[in-house]
């Protein structure tokens, strides 16, 4: 059980780091807020993929959701 928990913990930690990295790309303007890209992290992290969703509210504030799978 310990090895599985450790592996799951490492995978979760990696997924969080990848999500933070993708969010930083939006924050710096590397990725425009006009598109909702999806893709993978090959070749560095081939086991992970991402999707994004971008919404705006009545104040034209952006809500960006990044999902890592």
Alpha carbon distance 11, 17 (integer Å): 10
Give pLDDT, residue 6.
Answer: 82
Residue 35: pLDDT band (50, 70, 90) is confident
Model confidence pLDDT, tens digit, residues 6-31: 889 999 999 999 999 999 999 999 99
Alpha carbon distance 53, 15 (integer Å): 17
Whole-model pTM: value is 0.84
């Amino acid at each position: 059980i310990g090895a599985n928990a450790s592996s799951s913990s490492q995978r979760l930690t990696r997924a969080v780091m990848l999500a933070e990295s993708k969010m930083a790309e939006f924050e710096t303007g590397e990725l425009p807020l006009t598109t909702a890209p999806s893709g993978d992290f090959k070749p560095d992290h081939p086991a992970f993929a991402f999707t994004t969703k971008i919404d705006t509210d009545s104040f034209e504030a952006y809500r960006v959701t990044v999902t890592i799978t």
